[in-house]
Amino acid sequence: MRTVYVNGTFLPEDQAQISIFDRAVLFADAVYEVTAVVGGKLLDFDGHMARLRRSLKELDMVERFSDQELLKIHRSLIEKNTLQEGLVYLQVTRGVADRDFDFSRLDADPGLILFTQAKDLINNPLAERGQCITLVEDLRWARSDIKTVQLLYSSLVKSRASEAGADDVWLHRDGKVTEGSSNNAYIVTDNNEIITRELSRDILHGITRQAVLNVARLHQMKVVERAFTIEELRSAKEAFSTSASGFVNPVVRVDDQEIGTGQPGIVTKLLRANYIAASLRTAI
């Protein structure tokens, strides 16, 4: 059984509890981060903590925990669960209060929840065989740049896609791809240009995205940050997604159409290998 962390205490997962009045339950009033662990070490930890602070700020939530405190809790949890490879989830809730839309006079302590998931990240079958995705209209709220736990639309469309045999969903708005259900989306053109949507309120500012684009530029690859159309995706040489849990994963089919050769592409494979090497070098 896992050890989890809830509001100052480490305890077995079946003993962990939160209030029914926690605003996370009543209003999805909580933000989160997911950090990968390989060889017992955290990848891109500073980036994830920086984005956590940004999410808190955008939602007028108070910051009660320092990066050092949060790092200590992450490390204790990795140790207590002897986690070699997998993910650490962290959720900050606005806290417990009687139900009221208005939180302006709220004086609650924020809730802090962390738990681990053991998972093979390096040896991911999707990286070998490539993902089959379907396209769905992006009907999420207009602040997808804030990492809130309100993930219902993505969860709904991913479940339906999964039932229909697909691995994931890419979302689109006005004929252009925004991002994947839980990852950022890219194409590679015939000129080997890597294209991914620019940062805005429309997408989550992926920490893996930032690291992978750095790796690409370091290898003299051309990166263009702009929205690409569904037609561009269909005629792309390669397509791939990035996330902390998936790293870099090829897309080989969109609905009923193959992308490129229908096999994971060379640029994608190179980026995956180099991203993993670079992030392991800086893991803490």
CA geometry: angle 38, 84, 131, nearest 5 deg:
55
- Of 207, 215, 248, 252, which one interacts with ligand PMP (CB under 6 A)? 207
- Of 91, 116, 242, 268, which one interacts with ligand PMP (CB under 6 A)? 242
Q: Which ranges constitute the DSSP H helices of 219-257? A: 230-234
202 binds ligand PMP (CB under 6 A): no
Residue whose pair of structure tokens reads 């940062």 in the numeric block: 199
CA distance 137 to 237: 23
168 binds ligand PMP (CB under 6 A): no
Using CB under 6 A as the binding criterion, the count of chain residues that bind ligand PMP stands at 13
Can you spell out the DSSP letters for 54-82? HHHHHTT------HHHHHHHHHHHHHHTT
Minimum Å distance from CB 206 to ligand PMP?
3
184 binds ligand PMP (CB under 6 A): yes
Question: Which range touches ligand PMP (CB under 6 A), out of 78-86, 87-95, 189-197, 238-246?
Answer: 238-246
Residue 266, burial from CB neighbour count under 10 angstroms (0-12, 13-18, 19+): middle
55 binds ligand PMP (CB under 6 A): no
74 binds ligand PMP (CB under 6 A): no
- Of 25, 34, 62, 223, which one interacts with ligand PMP (CB under 6 A)? 34
- Of 93, 182, 196, 249, which one interacts with ligand PMP (CB under 6 A)? 182
State yes or no: is 80 an active-site residue: no
CA distance 136 to 180: 10
Q: Which residues pair with 184 in a beta bridge?
A: 242
Comparing CB distances to ligand PMP, the nearer of 70 and 207 is 207
Minimum Å distance from CB 149 to ligand PMP?
11
Phi, psi of 232 (to 5 degrees): -60, -40
CA distance 67 to 63: 10
- Of 29, 179, 202, 238, which one interacts with ligand PMP (CB under 6 A)? 179
